[in-house]
Amino acid sequence: MNRILLNCDMGESFGAWQMGDDALAMPLIDQANLACGFHAGDPLIIQQSVLLAREHGVSIGAHPSYPDLQGFGRRHLACSAEEVEALVLYQLGALDAFCRAAGTQIDYVKPHGALYNDLLQRDDLLQAVLRACSRYRAGLPLMLLARGSQHAGEDNVRERQLAEAAGVPLLREAFADRAYLADGSLAPRRLPGAVHQQAERILEQALAIARGEPFAALDGSPLRLEADSLCVHGDNAESLAVLRRLRAQLDSL
């Protein structure tokens, strides 16, 4: 069994608005998905987040989104593929400046919120983000949702083919604190129970994914995922407690 990595969305504070406890969470994770200013994160927050990740030897991922500060990047905007490619490159450039100043680099890209979900539905937007990754730096990986349903095979093949054509490696991600539908997609946040709030429930799902074991989808049906990295959201009230316990459990596998 390959070791699964642990990632967290970070750098999502903005001005006086505090989101998550990054200073305590950073030592517990392998990968930090850092907001680039379009859904959260101002210049000072981005700079501090990069320095914090470097201090703890955590891999830095760009976390670009639609330009949607008011909606925290969770609203679907009618952007063209050309616009998406440009806005992702723009955000990579912002984070890259702070990485270069700190003597580190962007290691991968994980789109945020509505943009992340739209890439799973629209090949033109996925290709736009793949182009942005390859234009920024050859071999820069893109993190996408791990597909786990019986019908996900075609989606996996299509995404892999598009990524290979663009020369972009793919990282597959699963979520510890989000409920899944039976088809292997994330349950929309508008549905009751879409976000797990209980620490035990989050830990149970996380460990099942890490071990390659089935866990319950929202309707109770069994679901199995194969993932390179496991996400715990930093804005979940239980995230810090879960991260501490999950880190210890993953290190013992």
Q: Give the pLDDT of residue 238.
A: 75
| Closest C-alpha to 82, from 120, 132, 42, 48 | 132
CB atoms near residue 172 (< 10 Å): 17
CB atoms near residue 194 (< 10 Å): 15
pLDDT band at 236 (very low <50, low <70, confident <90, very high): low
Q: Say yes or no to pLDDT of 242 above 90.
A: no
More confident residue, 222 or 235: 222
Q: Give the pLDDT of residue 119.
A: 96
- For the chain, give the percent of residues with pLDDT over 70: 96
| Closest C-alpha to 33, from 44, 17, 20 | 20
pLDDT band at 44 (very low <50, low <70, confident <90, very high): very high
Angle between helices 123-136 and 152-166 (to 10 degrees): 30
Backbone angles phi, psi at 229, to 5 degrees: -145, 150
Q: How many residues does the chain have?
A: 253
Give, as one character, the DSSP assignment of residue 2.
P
Helices (H), ranges, 65-177: 81-101, 113-119, 123-136, 152-166
Q: Say yes or no to pLDDT of 153 above 80.
A: no
Q: Global pTM?
A: 0.95
Per-residue pLDDT reduced to its tens digit, 21-34: 999 999 999 999 99
Q: Say yes or no to pLDDT of 58 above 70.
A: yes
Per-residue pLDDT reduced to its tens digit, 133-145: 999 999 999 999 9
Contacts of 105 (CB under 8 A, 6+ apart): 60, 96, 99
Per the prediction, the chain carries an average pLDDT of 93
- Domains of the chain plus CATH, in order, are 5-252 (3.20.20.370)
Q: Say yes or no to pLDDT of 1 above 60.
A: no
Per-residue pLDDT reduced to its tens digit, 173-211: 999 999 999 888 899 989 999 999 898 999 999 999 999
pLDDT band at 235 (very low <50, low <70, confident <90, very high): low
Q: Give the pLDDT of residue 186.
A: 92
Q: Give the pLDDT of residue 74.
A: 95
Report how far residue 105's alpha carbon sits from residue 150's, in angstroms, rounded to the nearest whole number: 37
Start-to-end C-alpha separation, the chain? 9
| Closest C-alpha to 243, from 202, 212, 213 | 202
Q: Give the pLDDT of residue 161.
A: 95
CB 179 within 8 A of CB 196: yes
